[in-house]
Amino acid sequence: MKILTLNTWQERGPWLERWELIFHGLKVYDADIVGFQEVFNMDWAEEARERSGYPYLAVSGQHSGLIFFSKFKPVEEECIFLPKSPNEDYNRYAFYTRFDTGKEGLAAFNTHLSWKKEDDQVRGSQVRGLVEFIDRKAGAAPAVAMGDFNTAPGTDPIKFLTGQAGWRDTFALANPGQAGLTWDYRNPYAEMERDKMAERRIDYIFVTREAGPFKGIRLSRVVFDKPAGGVWPSDHLGVLTEFSDGG
């Protein structure tokens, strides 16, 4: 089982050229489920799904920008509002989809948290809302949560998830001591926001338990991390995690 997450940076910069790199990466990485953030154009989402070769697209219907491409059929979906930051004039969401893998149901969650430095307390409330949502939809069954959490390892929201909530940070487990930057100033789209956002890992794939389709982490790595002709796939780099279950 391979899971991939990427914030696509909306339709900014040379976005059609960027998507050509995303399409290429999707073929190379061959993930079973892909969670994208910042896809707001549903006509493009369907076209991109078709061009990428994925048979299924799951969309939230809440203008959240959260979608999944999948090799597995989505059989249940729900999107919720997360606590809103007073520093933003838009909402934040968590999107749940249950997929039929042919062996068992797989619960996947996609999210994109508030981004400003002063929003750490809000992000704490948002991750608590996400945990409650996952507990309600997945119960004791293992689930995967992915997306742009806009905060670094070691901050209070991430410590809550990996501590009290007991989630497993797949990149950290597979790469002890590695920074794994996904907001990386090597990328000029990120570097131009240097005054607003520090370099750090802000994109994650968590599992609630290493069991079922998420039993054993074979590898986890940063992806979409190289340009072509001066164009990068996004302002973010992505994360790919492969689980040894092979389900």
Instruction: Single out the residue of 177, 219, 222 nearest to residue 204, CA to CA.
Output: 222
CATH of the domain at 215: 3.60.10.10
CB of 170 closer than 8 Å to CB of 206: yes
Quickly list DSSP for 59-110.
E-SSS---EEEESSEEEEEEEEEEPPPTT-SS-EEEEEEEEE-SSSEEEEEE
Distance (Å, rounded) from C-alpha 82 to C-alpha 127? 8
Determine the Cα–Cα distance for residues 184 and 171; give it in Å rounded to an integer. 16
Residue 52 has a pLDDT of 98
Q: List CB contacts of 237: < 8 A, sequence separation 6 or more.
A: 6, 181, 182, 183, 184, 187, 203, 222, 223, 224, 225
Q: Which residues of the chain have pLDDT under 70?
A: 245-247
- pLDDT of 49-95, one tens digit each? 999 999 999 999 879 999 999 999 999 999 999 999 999 999 999 99
The structural domain count of the chain equals 1
- Given this model, what pLDDT does residue 104 score? 81
Q: The domain containing residue 36 runs over which residues?
A: 2-243
Q: How far apart are CA 19 and CA 48, in angstroms?
A: 8
Q: Which is nearest to 13 in space by CA: 197, 182, 190?
A: 190
pTM for the full predicted model:
0.97
Check residue 247 and give its pLDDT.
46
- Determine the distance from the C-alpha atom of residue 59 to the mean position of all C-alpha atoms in its chain, rounded to a whole number: 14
Q: How far apart are the first and last CA of the chain?
A: 5
